[in-house]
Copies of this chain bind each other. A is one copy, B any other.
Amino acid sequence: MAIVLGPNQYGKAQTHLVRVQRDTPRHEIRDLTVSTALRGDFGAAHVDGDQGDVLPTDTQKNTVFSFAEEHGVGTIEDFALALAEHFLAQAPAATGARIEIDETPWQRIATGDGEHDHAFVQSGLGTRTTVVNVDGRGADRTAHVVSGIKDLTVLKSTGSEFHGFLKDRYTTLAETDDRILATSLIARWRYGTTDVSWDETFASVRGLLLARFAEIHSYALQQSLYGMGHTVLEKHPDIAEIRFSAPNKHHFLVDLSPFGVDNPNEVFHAADRPYGLIEATVQRDDAPEAGAAWHAVPGWV
């Protein structure tokens, strides 16, 4: 029996970068939080303390900043792919690179003269995110993109039921045909290709998720998620699968009868913990292999 090094990775987490595009007086900004990591044959660093193969995390941070100037920041997916390629080229011991980027949404401030050229306010519908994994080099190279959205908090004030569930000795929950359904959605979808219109696809998927959440008459959060995912895959052939992690943010109808007050589904206590947690995948049965696509993607599988 021997004790050996197993899987490992290292990198710089949460480099917070703001890139201003100022070619014209009408500025654009991209606000990114970038985490980079390399994995591979780094046994010497761990076992012997020999850093000869280790491209420091400080260098990774420097690279993120400089790439933002040298190459600009277009979409977070392309920026992540470029960084992954670069790090694999720089660090021969690395067999794979993982880049995660969150993009904080900003919009222009409205003034009496219309949208301002260089003043912005944070607001948006969720946070856009991507995780890119690139493995191997040359003919063996594979590149995977898993993009997503998080902090997309949605609520339906009706159009949600929950009944007919399995019961046992510990079941006290009442069945209901009208409840609040609310979640703070995390959705991540795996692209089957890297030849994608990233911005357009993100906007479309977000719109579909919101619209389908609204439209589906829900018999459980599971069913809403499945329907939302199904539509996304129908409309986007370049998406191979989509995964959801969705807290069921309970809104409990408050019993006002002790005060002689009726409560016809109008006053709810929004509880924090515990919460239901629903996790589900919707996928194509002929999807290309996931390979390392989900490597170190925050989540549940």
Contacts and interface: CB of A to CB of B under 8 A. Distances in A.
Interface of A: 1-22, 27, 29, 31, 35, 37, 42, 45-59, 61-63, 65-66, 68-70, 90-91, 106, 109-112, 116, 118-125, 152-159, 162-173, 180, 207, 210-211, 213-215, 218-220, 222-223, 225-226, 229-230, 233-234, 241, 243, 247-248, 251, 254, 256, 258-259, 261-286, 295-296, 300-301
Pick the most buried of A170, A273, A281: most chain B CB atoms within 10 A of its CB.
Answer: A170
B49 A277 contact: no
A55 B154 CA distance: 25
B54 A165 contact: yes
B119 A172 contact: no
Given A17-B267, A62-B171, A109-B210, 6 more contacts: A7-B301, A47-B226, A52-B164, A59-B167, A68-B266, A119-B154
The 10 lowest CB-CB distance pairs between A and B, nearest first, are A49-B219, A6-B281, A119-B214, A122-B153, A46-B226, A51-B165, A49-B223, A8-B280, A58-B173, A57-B276
B111 A215 contact: yes
B59 A170 contact: yes
Contacts of A263: 69
A301 B31 CA distance: 27
Q: Give the secondary structure class of A's interface.
A: mixed
Nearest to A229: B3
Nearest to A300: B296
Given A213-B119, A220-B54, A254 B21 contact: no
Given A13-B275, A165-B55, A277-B37, A19 B267 contact: yes
A9 B157 contact: no
Pick the most buried of A13, A214, A274: most chain B CB atoms within 10 A of its CB.
Answer: A274
